[in-house]
Each structure stands twice: as structure tokens, then as C-alpha cells.
Structure 1
Amino acid sequence: MTEENARLAKPSVRVLIVDDHAIVRKGIRALLSEADGFEVVGEADTGQEAVLRAQETQPDVILMDLLMPGMDGIEATRQITSRQPQTRILVLTSFSADSKVFPAIKAGALGYLLKDSSPEELVRAIRQVHRGEPSLHPTIARKLLQEIARPVEMQPAPEALTPREMMVLQLIAQGLSNQEIADQIAVSEPTVRTHVSRILGKLHLASRTQAALYAVREGLMDPTTAEEA
């Protein structure tokens, strides 16, 4: 197989673009058409349409605006990640306020990029999120680090995890979906969902993203493994 044929045979990253401004959607579509390895499978201009289009097109990555008429991007992210955990969401917005950042990440977004980012940064972020790696604008990463470092008063002590729960937590931190975790540890996907629920409850966390951050902060995973995920 020639190098050109190999490139063409390589599966493209399927992207759904969600933004209420047509010019933004068309600009991103044009950008991704010029980059190797991307296929734009659809567009949506509201959160409700994003949920429907995500079900129809089953994208690998969704570029999600936050401020849209009707259902906003945070609620759309929450609904999509609960129904399609294999689909990864990269927030692309103009807002860096805590009131937007933390709810979006708690809702399940794996990346958060500001619209003043360069085209190269956007392409890189999509690829990182597709690999299951968190991708954060430097401003957002700084906010999260500050939040993690801030002491939480009256926080109940986390309960000890079982060895199986610890394994699931490490796989969550590598960006694997529930189905991918189920395949790796040879259990059913509902069993993994039960493990995830117990992990969040024992650690007093609200989302998979918080669980992944907890695992990294507590040194529960090998950083080299996380880089390879």
C-alpha cells in the first residue's frame, strides 16, 4: 500500500459542529476540510438540535458552543455524554468565566477551548480529545488547577475503593468510555456504569472528568500511560 493510499485508508475523525452562528460553523468546516483526517458529519445551531444530530450522526468529537438559544451547550453536553459516552465533546466558546467553565466540565466536556485560539490549536485540540486526552486552553487549565488546589471545608473523607474500582478509575483517567472499559476488563457495560457510580459516590465527585482529575492529582495512574491513551 502506498503512502497516499494508507493516508486515505486511515479513518477520519468524525466531527459535529454546534454553534448558533452560521459563519462560525462554515469557517470551522472550511478549516477542517483543509486538514488531514477530519470529516464534518453535520452541523447544529441549538442545543436541542445538537442532541438530535449527535444521535443521528454518531460523531467522534463534537465542537460545542455554550451560549445558544433554547437549550444551551452545557445541557446539551450533559444529555449527549449520558447517552453517548463514546462521543467526546470539545467546548469552543468565547467565555472563560467560572460560571461556564466548571459546569461545562462537570457536564462531561473533555476539552475547553476559547474562540481566540489559532486554527492549529483547534486542530490539535480535536485530535487530543479524540484520543481521550483532556485539552484545555491555558486560561482554563489555570482555573482548574486553582480549583483543585483550593481547600474544601467540611468535605467528607473519601471511602476506600476496591481493587476493581481502582482499575476502573485509572481507565477513566485514560479517557476510555464505559464500553471500552467493559471490553478491557471483560465485564458488561452496565457493570461498568455501576462501578463508575460507586466511584463517584465514594470519592464525593460529580462527574467522570472530576474522577480523572482526582486520579491524576492523587498519583493513581502512570503519567506515561496517560500520554499514550
Structure 2
Amino acid sequence: MAILLVDDDPLSRGALRRLIGLVEGVVVAGEAAGPEEAREGVRRFHPDAVLMDVHMGHVNGFQVTRDLVREHPGLRVLVVSVLPENPYAVEAFRAGASGFLRKEDAPRRLAEAIRTVVQGETYLSPAVAPELVRELVRSRASGLDFPSLTPREQEILELLAQGLSNKEIAAVLHSTVRTVKAHVSHVLEKLNVDDRTQAAVLALRLGLVRSQDAPYREPRSAPNEGR
């Protein structure tokens, strides 16, 4: 797997390069210190993924991510940030990133994060997941439509994004757990995702979740509740 490393700080690039060097089967194909070098690097090296720093002096890493993904559809970008504020993860996914990794997590999770995004899946540092879903339930719909979801499935998506278990969703909708479980499975299949976190990320990108005031709560899945 070939990685393009985009970071304007030579020390930070060096640290990430050394960490990548410890990951079996992964190599740094090229490095870039700014947006133009990043564009040239993607064209030249055709990387499997780009590791993108959030702040590069006066350059916004989110905008660079947005531009690269627009110019190269399907490009996988893993955003890394030294900043602890969780809303940066929200902005990363809105920009089209495939994953978000806090730099403090990199020594333990970089290998997993790289492999996850290269395989076409979504990676999210565990510590930022609650804030991402909080933003989801606060977000206003962007006007984009996802016609394959039925009105009931859209309701299910909003409720699972709030962290409700199947049992709790059933209570809200005056339905049965079995029916809710079937709806959740249909939502994941239609969105082509494997779990609720990935569904939440995609819903954020597409503006599928209406504004809500309900706070995020970790799902409390009952034994054998399944999806």
C-alpha cells in the first residue's frame, strides 16, 4: 500500500513516516508540504491513501482534502489532527475524508486506520465518535435526497444516530424489536455500510439527518439484539 504524506511540519512528517515504516506492507510513496505538492503527489504516485494534516500554516487541510477528492473521485484520505477538539472529525468527513485519526492515537492505531480506509471502509478514532453523532443530530438537512430510504427508514436512521438501541427505537416508534431490527438491517444495506457508526458518517455527508435536540447516548444493545 502506497501512502502520500501531506504535512507542512518536517518533524511531524518524520514522525509519521517512521510510524508508517513500522507497518508491514505499507510504504511512503511521497511527501508534500502544501496543496500544490499534494496535487502533484497524487498525480505522480497514485497513492492508495493520503495522510492529511489539518493545519499547515495558513493552509486549511480540509479544503485541500475537498479539492483532492473532487479532482480524484474515489481517493481515500485519512485526516490526522494534533488538536483534541472533536468537531474537526465532523469537518473532515464533510470534506470527503474516509477517516479521521488523532495524532496522539497514531502510535497505537495508525496501522488499523490506514488498512481500514484503503479497504474502502471508514475509520474514526474511538474518542471522537460521540461528538460526531452529536453533530449529526444537530445538523440540518442539506436538501440532498436519498430516495432509496423509506420515510420509516429515515426515522430509524435518525434514532440510531442518537445512540438508541433497537429496543429503545421500538418504544419510540411503537413497534417491535424484531421489526426495528429488520429496518436497521435494510438501512445499513441501502447505505452500503457495515455498522451504525458508518451509517452516521454517511448520513452526515449526505445531510440525511434532521435537526434534533436529543443528546447522544451510547447504544445499549441487549444480548443477541444484532444490528
TM-score of the alignment, normalized to the shorter chain, above 0.5 = yes
Q: Following TM superposition, by how much is the alpha carbon of 1:92 offset from its aligned partner in structure 2, in angstroms?
A: 0.7
Checking the alignment, whether the CA contact within 8 Å between 1:32 and 1:40 is kept in structure 2 is yes
Task: Provide closer, same or farther for how the CA distance between residues 149 and 101 of structure 1 changes in structure 2, counting only shifts above 3 A.
Answer: same
**CA apart distance, 1:75:** 1.0
Q: 1:71 aligns with which of 46, 59, 64?
A: 59
For 2:147, which of 150, 154, 160 is the aligned residue? Answer: 160
Distance change (3 Å), C-alpha of 1:79 and 1:42: same
Contact 1:74 1:103 in 2 (8 A): yes
Q: Match of 2:14?
A: 26
Tell me the distance in 2 between the aligned counterparts of 1:114 and 1:120.
11
Deviation at 1:121, TM superposition (A): 0.4
Secondary structure at the counterpart of residue 140 of structure 1: helix
| 1:143 corresponds to | 131
Shift of 1:23: 1.5
Task: Find the partner of 1:210 among 205, 209, 215.
Answer: 205
Q: Which runs of 5+ in 1 are unaligned?
A: 1-12, 164-168, 176-206, 215-229
Q: Distance in 2 between matches of 1:213 and 1:162?
A: 10
Residue 93 (1) aligns with residue 88 (2): no
Query: Aligned match of 2:101 in 98, 106, 113?
Result: 113
**1:155 deviation in Å?**
7.7
Once the two structures are TM-superposed, the CA of residue 108 in structure 1 deviates from its matched residue by: 0.4
CA-atom RMSD, angstroms? 3.3
Q: Which residue does 1:124 correspond to in 2?
A: 112
> For residues 209 and 15 of structure 1, do their structure 2 counterparts lie closer, same or farther at Cα, with a shift above 3 Å needed?
farther
Q: Would you say how many aligned residue pairs link Structure 1 and Structure 2? A: 166
Judged with a 3 Å threshold, the aligned counterparts in structure 2 of structure 1 residues 156 and 123 are, in CA distance, closer, same or farther, namely closer
Q: Which runs of 5+ in 2 are unaligned?
A: 151-187, 195-201, 210-227
Query: How much has 1:35 moved relative to structure 2?
Result: 1.9
Distance between the aligned counterparts of 1:17 and 1:78, measured in 2?
A: 16
Deviations 1:133-165 (A, max 9, x none): 11111232111111223474x8869573499xx
CA deviations on 1:15-52 (whole Å, 9 max, x unpaired) are 01111111221222222222211021100111232122
Higher alpha-carbon deviation: 134-143 or 104-113: 134-143
| Corresponding residue SS for 2:38 | helix
- CA offset digits 1:81-108 (Å, max 9, x no partner): 0111222000111124365332221110
Q: Aligned with 1:63: secondary structure?
A: strand
**Displacement of 1:211:** 3.8
SS in structure 1 of the partner of residue 31 of structure 2 = strand
SS at match of 2:27: strand
Question: 1:79 Cα deviation (Å)?
Answer: 0.8
- 1:40 counterpart SS class: strand
1:54-93 deviations in whole A, cap 9, x for unaligned?
A: 1221111111001113432111101110111222000111
Q: Give SS of 1:117's match.
A: helix
